[in-house]
Amino acid sequence: MNAKKLIIQEVDIEQLNQGNPIVDYSDGDIVIIDNVSDLIEISPLYAKMNFIILCSKGKIQFDINDSKIMLYQDEMLLSASNVILDNYMISVDFECKILCLSDRIMKGLLRSELDKWNLMIYIRKRNVVKLPTESKEQFRLYYSLIKYKMEHPHDGQSLIMQSIVRAMLLDVCQLLESSASTQDDHKISRGRVLFNRFLDILSHDHVKRHPVSNYALDLCVTPKYLSMICSKYSGKSASEWIVEYTMEDIRYYLFHTDFSIKEISNKLGFVNLSLFGTFVRKHFGESPTKLRNREHKK
């Protein structure tokens, strides 16, 4: 077997804005890609941005954080930032539209509706939604309008594009809400907002393995209350979320970078190499070195 590529290519909004040939439109915090064929050549890819993929024809299969995703015609993939994409397989007739958004613009455009996006996206880092019949044409028209505005730029282009994208995102949030399995509580409770803020902080914290009390202090609540809220809205305690996100970072550094084990341990905030090894063996079943070597032999 061929050794798996070690180095992963990181892609963020800033890079896509620098005259990348695969980009059809870029405006600081918003990037639109109309053809995925060039993008899939970058594998594995660490996407440091939120993105929406609308499959208009055919199908695509790929991994997000080592979980297989299948996207078929008239399905939409919604993903939070900081995910690893790899192992793409596309049908010969595959066509899609990709909308990439920075965290800053997501917060700016969604504002009070950001809660709905966070609730459905941050829990699993991605969400595939089958478009209802009445929504298929609606989202195609959004992309047609966006494409038209890209091809006919004029003064105020940035503000116009942001307005169109905001309208589309609001409809995406409505779609998320209506497709949720639990639809009995449509109110944005304080607890749900707190849970979203916790995941937002945890997701963007470079060193995630802090005590629950640290996050609770940032959120002005007690550790017990924070864990209770997390369990209520996700079925996992705050400490379980910290472990899960730490494991994602470990996978990334072990499988997709050439940092030494010691360097990874330091980057992720472990006091010493022994504690890092103990954590990895407990949650992955083997040492960091064995885990890395086994992955690269695949």
Query: Does the reported pTM lie above 0.75?
Result: no
CA dihedral over 168, 63, 264, 226, signed as positive or negative: positive
Number of domains in the chain: 2
Considering the domain architecture, whether residues 259 and 174 belong to the same structural domain is answered as: no
Considering the domain architecture, whether residues 15 and 139 belong to the same structural domain is answered as: yes
Nearest to 55 by CA among 93, 95, 92: 95
178 by Cβ neighbours in 10 Å (0-12 / 13-18 / 19+) ranks as exposed
Can you say whether residue 76 is alpha, beta or left, with left for phi > 0 and alpha for psi between -120 and 50 degrees?
beta
Considering the domain architecture, whether residues 159 and 201 belong to the same structural domain is answered as: no
Residue 257 lies in a domain: yes
Considering the domain architecture, whether residues 272 and 167 belong to the same structural domain is answered as: no
Considering the domain architecture, whether residues 149 and 263 belong to the same structural domain is answered as: no
Residue 85 lies in a domain: yes
Axis crossing angle, helix 223-234 with helix 190-204, rounded to the nearest 10: 100
Residue 1 pLDDT: 38
Considering the domain architecture, whether residues 39 and 159 belong to the same structural domain is answered as: yes
Q: Residue 215 and residue 196: Cα distance in Å, rounded? A: 12
Structure tokens at 136: 């298929």
CA dihedral over 244, 10, 28, 78, signed as positive or negative: negative
Considering the domain architecture, whether residues 45 and 167 belong to the same structural domain is answered as: yes
61 and 108 in contact (C-beta within 8 Å)? no
Considering the domain architecture, whether residues 205 and 163 belong to the same structural domain is answered as: no
264 and 253 in contact (C-beta within 8 Å)? yes
Q: Among the three residues 132, 154, 179, which one is the final residue of a domain in this structure?
A: 179
Summarised one tens digit per residue, pLDDT across range 79-95 is 888 788 888 888 988 88
Q: Among the three residues 150, 179, 208, which one is the final residue of a domain in this structure?
A: 179
Residue 255 lies in a domain: yes
Considering the domain architecture, whether residues 109 and 203 belong to the same structural domain is answered as: no
Q: How confident is the model at residue 146 (pLDDT cuts 50, 70, 90)?
A: confident
Considering the domain architecture, whether residues 14 and 147 belong to the same structural domain is answered as: yes
CATH number of the domain bearing residue 226: 1.10.10.60
Considering the domain architecture, whether residues 280 and 252 belong to the same structural domain is answered as: yes
Task: Tell me what the pLDDT averaged over the chain comes to.
Answer: 81
Chain-centre distance for alpha carbon 96: 18
Q: Residue 228 and residue 226: Cα distance in Å, rounded? A: 5
Summarised one tens digit per residue, pLDDT across range 22-63 is 777 777 788 888 766 656 666 678 888 888 888 888 998 888
CATH number of the domain bearing residue 169: 2.60.120.280
Residue 185 lies in a domain: no
Residue 2 lies in a domain: no
Residue 1 lies in a domain: no
Residue 184 lies in a domain: no
Residue 3 lies in a domain: no
Residue 47 pLDDT: 86
Range of the domain at 216: 190-296
Q: Among the three residues 115, 147, 179, which one is the final residue of a domain in this structure?
A: 179
Considering the domain architecture, whether residues 38 and 102 belong to the same structural domain is answered as: yes
Residue 222 pLDDT: 93
Summarised one tens digit per residue, pLDDT across range 214-271 is 999 999 999 999 999 998 887 789 999 999 889 888 888 888 788 999 999 999 999 9
